[in-house]
Structure 1
């Protein structure tokens, strides 16, 4: 039987793949998408979305405990972990169904199964019914990534969990160890700590949230410690001894190995790209440390083959994948899109307090040879933050002293994951300090702190 023919085939229906398929269809291409497990990929089903749903539950729980501060009464406060998880799964299901609907609406052919690339321009899909053969001049790899497993620290779903187990926990941890303090590790640490687990976070780098600005990391550490978390930096889990209902972790810190007992361990030590079993090596695709090597337009160097999102390397963010998907679809349709610039992509972490950033940290800006002007503004100086009962946090802005270019912005505190977008737009429009100073921010809002932080960089701050 002759293979089904398309203009573009996308492998993987996460936020990179499904967005690429929609944009391709909008541009008049005949598009097929192949998905092995769930529409919406990890992000919608086992990542960004369900974790935010769970974190929202813990945030409300935290606020309920503070009812008295707000002149309210809440007694007998408790939670039902199964119900929290059920809500989170329901949110994920609703959105996954939404993606399936969008595929239909945009007339994208969906093939459920595992794909391989037997030859250039060919995709073979192993489905429930057998094997389907597809062909297209343009193939987009959007197969994503999975949790990195370190030898000896592998997950078993009982005592040692990956993010997946942590989203549908078999029980509530009492003594929890989280290995890794990137976004995933810190979000789970925040969730379980708020619900009452005694939580320890171990980070191998010299500080938690290692990709963030050093000042923000330090602020976060102080905040988490105040909430009862134990933070161990420059520390490494060497081995886990699993017993019945207990795990003894051997943690090397300051040249000594300490032993600590836990009932649950969450491993969040990074991710590896899903590059195996596709037949990429035979096609001549270059793979570096589990990621497909691409140029700035996501081209792999093999004619007609592109790679987007997590499989194409850092930053491992859903919004990066989506933008790359749109760019590649436009390229395939004959357009001239701008490449996606990694330094223009904001990172958001939904712990309590939230963390968000875009552009260069102060250290990176100096390393790159910039003479910098730095501004800071604390939440305690903002009327809306105090009215919300959220006086803990800060905003930090970094400018090039010579040109006034906004090099980076870093925030910690309530709702900063929503605020960061103001600076992202500013950077996209190549704003200078003068533009930002002349912008009228509405009052009373948290966003006024963004204005004040800029003013502070130039010695003009009003409210501190």
Structure 2
């Protein structure tokens, strides 16, 4: 077939059926647009099939096994619990298929056309679609690029091996590593490290060069040091990998940490690094869509590219590689196409880790607030002082609130502890509304609950927290 011989007319074409793509498709259909969604693999994208969902099934397995092991505290007696990873993999696959079927049903209900294949731009208003030996051309009015990204391979990692895993393959591992090296300093590295430690692996975390700590507020990092030590997870900080050695049944990394060289060996290596946007095959140079030096597509607050009728969402755009970003951008792009004055704002984007205990953070860290020149007030409430945390046996962690001392507006909220992932939404809503401390002190909180920890963290700003021992006032110096 000659390119341009026949072009099928379409309204809105979306390239990529991950979280950003299918949310955009459904929202555009809700707003009356006719939508064609192109996906070359499986609906749900990497998030559903390889990333977010599979990894959270893994962390849930670790959390449930730990809970069983703590059963004696609740009077539960019986034989020791064993873990069968093959059954977990079967359950994981069943869950993924159920969720994917749900997405397919939603697309069908919204009369969204789904096409399989690889799409690329031929002109500013045309895409080509390859599916095996078949090739078609589609002319569109508006388009959304939602092709996601792929993990970058570190420069020091030259070899390929089944023992070296990334964020797309770690949840498919069919065995529990005897010794696992985790390279990275983000929330994913923590999730994977803690999950496999709970399932029986000996884990060492290697923070990459220039990283003395994890990517969280300093208070969370201090708490993590205690928790990781308690779990007997070794941490090598600020480590430059000099070379890697891969053998048939083992591997080793030689690292330089603060001038000290050491070799760390293991059976498996998990690497959590930045991602590269999947844009190379899109033909963006043909249509003048602007990209930054690293390849990410430049977009405005509506996810609009330099071409007014072409949008980009998710991991192909600059910013954190988070499904929530893709989802928000996807909806915003669909609404912009429909003529609505929508926009995305990621000032208070939450960063969460489904670790044990969970971590959740939004807004400014203490260091960031200091760099921006804020005169801060900090409220800190340990969950050891929360009644509900005590009765459920989940006392590790705290809730920290950062406030602007001048006007009492909340700047950041950081949590470690049971329920943190759910509770952070209350803090995000408050910060989005430019709430002051009194706005979180006034409402009623359920009792007993971890929610009361947020209340007392805010009350601690005013030294009014009931379950904190008062700090003795220093005697005033005589002038």
Superposition TM-score, scaled by structure 2 size:
0.94
Task: Show CA shifts across 1:130-178 (max 9, x none).
Answer: 0122121211111111111112425735221112331111422101101
Q: Summarize the alignment of residues 141-290 of structure 1 with structure 2, pairs less than 5 Å apart.
A: 141-153=145-157, 156-204=160-208, 205-210=210-215, 212-288=216-292, 289-290=294-295
* Structure 1: 4+ residue segments shifted above 4 A: none
Alpha-carbon contact 2:362-2:414 (below 8 Å) kept: yes
Q: Summarize the alignment of residues 288-327 of structure 1 with structure 2, pairs less than 5 Å apart.
A: 288=292, 289-327=294-332
Residue among 381, 385, 388 paired with 1:384: 388
Secondary structure of the residue aligned to 1:314 is coil
User: Shift of the alpha carbon at 1:85?
Assistant: 1.8
User: How many residues are aligned here?
Assistant: 462
Alpha-carbon contact 1:155-1:161 (below 8 Å) kept: no
Alpha-carbon contact 1:162-1:268 (below 8 Å) kept: yes
> Is the radius of gyration larger for structure 1 or structure 2?
2
Give yes or no for the alignment of 1:36 onto 2:48: no
Alpha-carbon contact 1:237-1:249 (below 8 Å) kept: yes
Residue among 398, 415, 430 paired with 1:411: 415
Task: Show CA shifts across 1:239-259 (max 9, x none).
Answer: 211112111211110112211
User: Shift of the alpha carbon at 1:414?
Assistant: 1.1
Alpha-carbon contact 1:153-1:267 (below 8 Å) kept: no
Residue among 60, 71, 74 paired with 2:75: 71
Task: Show CA shifts across 1:33-59 (max 9, x none).
Answer: 111111011111111111111211111
Give yes or no for the alignment of 1:94 onto 2:105: no
Task: Show CA shifts across 1:403-435 (max 9, x none).
Answer: 221111000111210110111111222211111
Q: 1:154 to 1:341 in 2, by over 3 A?
A: farther
Q: 1:423 to 1:155 in 2, by over 3 A?
A: farther
Give yes or no for the alignment of 1:331 onto 2:333: no
Please give the alpha-carbon distance, in whole angstroms, between the structure 1 residues aligned to 2:450 and 2:212.
Answer: 27
Residue among 342, 345, 354 paired with 1:341: 345
Alpha-carbon contact 1:65-1:74 (below 8 Å) kept: no
Residue among 80, 85, 89 paired with 1:85: 89
Residue range with higher mean Cα deviation, 104-113 or 212-221: 212-221
Q: CA RMSD in A?
A: 1.4
Alpha-carbon contact 1:404-1:432 (below 8 Å) kept: yes
Alpha-carbon contact 1:202-1:236 (below 8 Å) kept: no
Please give the alpha-carbon distance, in whole angstroms, between the structure 1 residues aligned to 2:214 and 2:316.
Answer: 22
- Structure 1 residue runs of 5 or longer lacking an equivalent are none
Superposition TM-score, scaled by structure 1 size:
0.97
Q: Which residue of 2 aligns with 1:422?
A: 426
